[in-house]
């Protein structure tokens, strides 16, 4: 299996984050990449390669140009500077005063746990280039393909970053594939992909399906509820299955399969893009489900059984010591 990954993704170094007013060591760290790569290379069944540069047109197909210019401006920071957004506009009717700089980052941010640094833009673009390359490979060959994306992407909206995400990798892949046929995005990260939902909320070409921790008590809190069905042409092309924390793995997998059955009765995708969040694993510090490697293999088998070309894109997963084992178990289902 092809695996797309660029070492530049490791330059985005996060030290700490603020959760509910308290300081913690940051969970989104480069060790996540290193643990996954170690296990995939040891398996000797994966071809790890560096993707080509990402065309800016592919990024602007899902992201606002002013927002991307803002992210790009972060390269002007010194290596020591870290920008934490801490003021946010409370009236979206007000116009954005150009140019937005990293010091007014609240224009484009929805939380205080996602800092901007000098290497943030290049790392996020490198991450997105892997997702785009994977989608191209799937389109050309029909083979399942995996993008080892970090930073992750599914919380990033057209002009918003947060949840450790800056550029929406899955949205870029799905938008590219949608030029050739309808796309189903399957998102099994523990946290709802509010950014991906927002980007495709009025689209009937891309169906967004997410199964996640109940947002009434879990991040991102303001989206991911069952009544969110889409708007306009996208009405009926969005399905959220929020689940109470600590649900058993068997019940989780049952809910996941039932959701797929509902979708496939009325939507026949040509391609599948999968936002793979391994924070649903047993023991993950940011998730509260309990999937083991055996459950991840079953999850992969279920997706493969749909018989569609699949682009697999890494999202969350913060139990670093077990991350590579869980990712390998999931990907093995597609080999």
Closest by Cα among 251, 225, 258, 253 to 240? 225
Phi-psi region of 68 (alpha: psi -120 to 50; beta: other; left: phi over 0): alpha
Closest by Cα among 10, 1, 51 to 34? 10
Element (H, E) at 146: strand 145-147
Residue 261 phi, psi dihedral angles, 5° rounding: -60, -40
| Residue numbers annotated as active site | 155
Nearest-angstrom CA–CA distance, 288 and 273: 24
Alpha helices in 21-141 (DSSP H): 31-43, 56-60, 65-73, 120-141
Nearest-angstrom CA–CA distance, 335 and 52: 24
């Amino acid at each position: 299996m092809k695996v797309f990954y660029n070492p530049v993704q490791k330059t985005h170094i996060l030290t700490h984050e603020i959760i509910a007013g308290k300081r913690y060591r940051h969970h989104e760290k480069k060790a996540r990449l290193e643990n996954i790569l170690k296990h995939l290379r040891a398996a000797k069944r994966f071809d790890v390669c560096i993707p080509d540069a990402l065309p800016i047109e592919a990024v602007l197909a899902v992201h606002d140009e002013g927002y991307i210019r803002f992210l790009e401006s972060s390269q002007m920071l010194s290596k020591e500077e870290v920008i934490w957004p801490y003021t946010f506009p409370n009236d979206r009717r007000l116009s954005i005063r150009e140019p937005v700089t990293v010091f007014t980052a609240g224009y484009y941010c929805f939380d205080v746990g996602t800092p901007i640094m000098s290497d943030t833009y290049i790392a996020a673009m490198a991450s997105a280039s892997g997702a785009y390359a994977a989608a191209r490979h799937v389109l050309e060959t029909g083979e399942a393909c995996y993008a080892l994306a970090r930073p992750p992407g599914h919380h990033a909206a057209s002009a918003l970053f947060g949840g450790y995400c800056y550029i929406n990798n899955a949205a870029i892949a799905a938008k590219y594939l949608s030029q050739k046929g309808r796309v189903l995005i399957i998102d099994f990260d523990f946290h709802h992909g509010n950014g991906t939902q927002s980007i495709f909320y009025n689209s009937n070409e891309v169906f967004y399906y997410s199964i996640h921790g109940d947002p009434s008590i879990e991040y991102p809190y303001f989206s991911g509820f069952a009544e969110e069905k889409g708007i306009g042409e996208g009405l009926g092309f969005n399905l959220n299955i929020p689940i109470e924390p600590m649900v058993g793995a068997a019940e989780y997998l049952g809910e996941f399969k039932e959701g797929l059955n509902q979708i496939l009765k009325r939507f026949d995708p040509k391609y599948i893009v999968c936002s793979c969040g391994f924070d649903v694993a047993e023991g993950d510090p940011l998730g509260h489900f309990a999937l083991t490697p055996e459950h991840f293999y079953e999850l992969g088998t279920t997706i493969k059984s749909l018989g569609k070309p699949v682009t697999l894109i890494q999202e969350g997963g913060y139990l670093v010591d077990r991350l590579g084992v869980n990712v390998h178990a999931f990907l093995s289902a597609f080999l």
